[in-house]
């Protein structure tokens, strides 16, 4: 038995995969960027799987091979012709590579199959609809002809959610249906098509004064792990969660309205934040995974983008409090004031939002406090920062809806 050497590093692949290779389908992220297991993880894997350095000398099943299998569509030619007439020949893909890429996701099962060149469950045709009318015609035709229909957004599924088990038609919403349809700064909402990717939505909102002619910059606030390579439509139909879901809420807390193409026509939910009628079709359609229709557009809440606030860490831990105190002392030495409202300051706080600030004197406290009444409930960044500061300063376990701040 050969011992492992601490200095050994496996020959990790750092070559972009060929365009039509198996690896180009299953590789996650930018094809020119690479992230390998660190030495600790590598050592753990060896020990857990009872392997040695020699087992990692020669890579195998890398998927760098070109996809050379040709699986012709099983759908009758007259169906292919009819579907092609709806979207145009330039928006139709019949080759095996495009159909495989549209069907497989990023689950471990997908990765193993692609490494081993297992090709199965392909759609017969991949269509890129240009507008909602295209989707309506495709849904109507597939329903009349009893053809299975699947929908793809960013292709980041890890649940085999887009796999064309029964063949049929795959809609790729990311090609054309990825535009902004409406922006309402008064209501702080944006309506986009389902195929828009997360980074593009954030770019548009973060630069809203230029891209949307708004007064302020905004953020959507939804950042799932698949953010860079997932679509807004995918977030909605899978009822997605993100790293900031405890702050801005899950996607169902951000969605105000949806538009679906169904077998009976267009279903549009009203863009009301609350309503006293039921059932709530927004909640019924959220997470429906395409069972009831094809999502074409969604209206989302947006929030003020304040990087100067987000960059100032809230006082939530002992190391954090120490850094915050040092920052406050540094500002005092410079006769300056911290930008974040999360720090106690000797005057009425100035918040970069529309929070209402009222002077109050609690009966149990001898000193004067400022009450911060949030402009947008728990979603106001300044309000949440102040709450974190008070929670840490006074070791409070809960913060009331009207957050007080020491004067």
Give the tens place of pLDDT for each residue, 274-318.
888 888 899 999 999 999 999 999 999 999 998 876 544 333 444
CATH fold group of domain 180-304: 3.30.465
Q: What residues have CB less than 8 Å from 53, skipping those under 6 apart?
A: 2, 4, 5, 8, 10, 46
Q: What residues have CB less than 8 Å from 52, skipping those under 6 apart?
A: 1, 2, 3, 4, 46
> For residue 258, is pLDDT > 70?
yes
| Average pLDDT, rounded, for the chain | 82
For the stretch 206-253, pLDDT in tens is: 999 999 999 999 999 999 989 999 999 999 999 998 777 888 889 999
> For residue 352, is pLDDT > 70?
no
For the stretch 54-82, pLDDT in tens is: 999 999 999 999 998 999 999 999 999 99
Q: Which residue from 369, 366, 350 is spatially nearest to 358, judged by alpha carbons?
A: 369
Query: How far is 383 from 326, CA to CA, in rounded Å?
Result: 22
Query: Is the bond preceding residue 279 a cis peptide, omega within 30 degrees?
Result: yes
Q: How confident is the model at residue 393 (pLDDT cuts 50, 70, 90)?
A: low
Cα-trace Rg, the chain: 26
pTM score, two decimals?
A: 0.74
Q: What pLDDT is attached to residue 381?
A: 54
CATH fold group of domain 77-172: 3.30.43
Q: What pLDDT is attached to residue 332?
A: 46
Cα dist from 62 to 31, 32, 38, 155, 297, whole Å = 14, 16, 19, 21, 38
Q: How confident is the model at residue 336 (pLDDT cuts 50, 70, 90)?
A: very low
Q: Which residue from 146, 155, 149 is spatially nearest to 134, judged by alpha carbons?
A: 149
Q: What pLDDT is attached to residue 375?
A: 54
Q: Which residue from 132, 86, 111, 121 is spatially nearest to 268, judged by alpha carbons?
A: 132
Higher pLDDT pick, 290 / 374: 290
Q: What pLDDT is attached to residue 273?
A: 83
For the stretch 105-134, pLDDT in tens is: 999 999 999 999 999 999 999 999 999 999
SS3 assignment, position 83: helix
> For residue 319, is pLDDT > 70?
no
Domain with CATH 3.30.465.10 in the chain: 180-304
Give the H/E segment covering residue 80: helix 77-87
189-193 and 294-301 beta bridge pairing = antiparallel
> For residue 96, is pLDDT > 80?
yes
Domain with CATH 3.30.43.10 in the chain: 77-172
Higher pLDDT pick, 194 / 377: 194
């Amino acid at each position: 038995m050969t011992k492992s050497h601490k200095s050994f590093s496996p020959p990790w692949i750092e070559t972009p995969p060929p365009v039509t290779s198996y690896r180009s389908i299953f590789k996650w992220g930018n094809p020119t960027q690479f992230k390998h297991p660190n030495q600790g993880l590598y050592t753990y894997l060896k020990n857990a799987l009872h392997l040695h350095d020699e087992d990692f000398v020669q890579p195998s099943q890398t998927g760098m091979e070109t996809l050379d299998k040709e699986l012709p569509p099983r759908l009758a030619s007259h169906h292919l012709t009819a579907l092609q007439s709806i979207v145009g020949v330039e928006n139709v893909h019949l080759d095996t590579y495009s159909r495989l890429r549209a069907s497989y996701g990023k689950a471990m099962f997908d990765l193993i199959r692609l490494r081993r060149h297992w090709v199965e469950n392909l759609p017969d045709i991949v269509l890129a609809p240009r507008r909602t009318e295209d989707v309506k015609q495709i849904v109507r035709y597939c329903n009349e002809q009893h053809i299975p229909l699947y929908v793809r957004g960013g292709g980041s599924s890890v649940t085999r959610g887009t796999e064309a088990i029964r063949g049929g038609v795959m809609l790729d919403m990311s090609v054309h249906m990825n535009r902004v349809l409406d922006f309402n700064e008064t209501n702080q909402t944006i309506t986009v098509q389902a195929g828009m990717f997360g980074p593009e939505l954030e770019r548009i909102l973060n630069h809203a004064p230029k891209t949307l002619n708004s007064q302020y910059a905004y953020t959507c606030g939804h950042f799932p792990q698949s953010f860079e390579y997932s679509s807004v439509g995918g977030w909605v139909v899978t009822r997605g969660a993100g790293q900031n879901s405890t702050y801005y809420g899950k996607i169902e807390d951000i969605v105000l309205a949806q538009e679906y193409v169904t077998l009976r026509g267009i279903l549009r939910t009203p863009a009301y934040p609350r309503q006293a009628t039921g059932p709530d079709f927004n909640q019924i359609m959220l997470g429906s995974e395409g069972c009831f229709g094809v999502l074409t557009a969604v209206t989302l809440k947006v929030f003020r983008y304040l990087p100067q606030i987000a960059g100032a860490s809230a006082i939530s831990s002992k190391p954090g409090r120490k850094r915050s105190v040092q920052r406050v002392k540094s500002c005092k030495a410079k006769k300056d004031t911290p930008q974040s409202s999360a720090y106690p300051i000797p005057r009425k706080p100035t918040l970069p939002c529309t929070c209402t600030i009222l002077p109050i004197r609690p009966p149990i406290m001898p000193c004067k406090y400022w009450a911060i009444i949030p402009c947008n409930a728990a979603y106001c960044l300044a309000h949440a920062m102040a709450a974190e500061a008070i929670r840490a300063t006074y070791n409070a376990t809960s913060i009331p809806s009207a957050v007080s701040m020491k004067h």
